[in-house]
Chains A and B, each alone.
Chain A
Amino acid sequence: MYGFANPARFLRIARWLTPVCLIAGLVIGGAALVWGLTSVAPDRLMGETVRILFIHVPSVWLGMAGWMTIAVASLVELVWRHPLAGIAARAAAVPGAVFTAIGLATGSIWGRPTWGTWWVWDGRLTSFLVLLFLYFGYMALADAAARQGKGRARVAAIFGLVGAINIPIINRSVVWWNSLHQPPSITTGGSSIDPSYLWPLAGATLGFTLIFAAVVLMRMRALLADQQAEARLRRKAMAAG
């Protein structure tokens, strides 16, 4: 792991990995969405609105995966003081929040024709909305910490770790409480989804995950470049003064 702690080595890898992830994600994700939109038969119960799930499910998965990225990177930052871990956590916040917002919006759009309502305050929807507010809180804390110096970064990292408590709550909410939301369709025991829906769903999930990785890499490169520029300006100012 410490092999990647050197920012110069990380940048050498990120420079070629960013476009690879981005192009692969756009091609795979785009093809899966077109497949799901044009070639899949309407569902017996949901009808044409089943197609919304090809964009809703990957978004929800990445909303939760984004926070798990923050939590793991925060743990690495706190325990091992890995120099890139805090940057990785901050870089995952924006794409995680964007996919959480897309998951909420597309779920609401799917719910109106399927459930007859845009929103219900049940365990799954409410805990997922809480995740969006956690992202807003984390971004505000991390930005404030970055402005005020390194010591404050621990506060954001601790917030990232504590916020991870919400992830198993989201996952188990449909089992613990009564909900309009269906129980998990994919578990460790297998999948209850018909293969004609499962393959485009898997393709869209893979494509969006690669896009997420590309965006995290881009944001890490931007944060690193900002840090390097600030460090160089400080050195010049000290040399001049």
Chain B
Amino acid sequence: MREALDPWSFVVAAYAIGVGGTLAMIGWSWLAMRAAEARRDRIREL
């Protein structure tokens, strides 16, 4: 007998991983870019 699975729990899990992973990657890349450009500008002004 097949177990009854709630499809929405799978949909929510997939969206959480997909959207969460994408937003985390955007945030990490944005912060890394800002930090690298700020360091370059600081060194330029030395």
Contacts and interface: CB of A to CB of B under 8 A. Distances in A.
A141 interface: no
Interface in B1-46: 2, 5, 7-8, 10-11, 13-15, 17-19, 21-22, 25-26, 29-30, 32-33, 35-37, 39-40, 43-44, 46
Interface stretch (A99-107, A152-160, A168-176, A178-186): A99-107
Contacts of B22: 98, 102, 208, 211
A222 B36 contact: yes
A233 B33 CA distance: 19
B21 A112 contact: no
Interface in A70-116: 94-95, 98, 101-102, 105-106, 109-110, 112-113, 116
A27 interface: no
Contacts of B35: 222
Contacts of B5: 112-113
A14 to B, nearest CB: 10
Contact of B14 (A106, A214, A233): A106
Given A47-B7, A218-B32, 17 more contacts: A49-B10, A52-B10, A52-B11, A52-B15, A55-B14, A55-B18, A55-B19, A56-B14, A98-B21, A109-B10, A110-B14, A215-B25, A218-B30, A222-B37, A223-B36, A225-B39, A229-B39
25 contacts: A37-B15, A49-B7, A49-B10, A49-B11, A52-B11, A55-B14, A56-B18, A98-B25, A102-B21, A109-B13, A110-B10, A112-B5, A113-B7, A214-B26, A218-B30, A218-B32, A218-B33, A219-B33, A222-B36, A222-B37, A225-B33, A225-B36, A225-B37, A225-B40, A229-B40
